[in-house]
A = this chain, B = another copy of it.
Amino acid sequence: MTEQGFTTTRATSIVGISYRQLDYWARTDLVRPSLVDAAGSGSRRLYSYRDLLELRVIKSLLDAGIKLESVRKAFNYMREHMNGDIAAAHLVISGSDVMVCEGGELIDVMNRAGQGVLVNVLALGGVKLSLDQQIRAQDEQESREQRPPTPIASRRAV
């Protein structure tokens, strides 16, 4: 199921960002497609599920009002310190520090917030859930659009 990888257009609609934004992020090394990278005009990028997860996390951070510059720093760190089990972890950003930690350590982190430093917390499990949900929704919609003949008419309505 879910054929190998995601094209840029599928990625944009699943993650909820524009093509230009995704393109810009790829060019500026924020998230490069890990399956197939672009190789000159006319080639096609191909994103992995993991890539989508990262893209979704980034979108969450941006939506929460974090500057892209901070996001870049956070991901430079995250890429080195993530060993698989994303689901239960929390991403914590505090000033220039970034951490990925489990629920228990969270209380710890909150104490650091006492010093007058702002702390950002994002549960990665929740992000993964909503991403999966979105992928399923898109799959359904696509098969609904392709199987019943309802042919060109619906396309022209746009």
Contact = CB atoms under 8 A, between A and B. Distances in A.
A28 B71 CA distance: 26
Interface in A101-127: 106, 110, 113-127
Interface residues of A, number: 35
Contacts of A117: 60, 64, 122, 126
B60 A116 contact: yes
A135 interface: no
A95 B116 CA distance: 21
Nearest to A69: B65
B121 A119 contact: yes
A32 interface: no
Given A65-B66, A94-B64, A116 B126 contact: yes
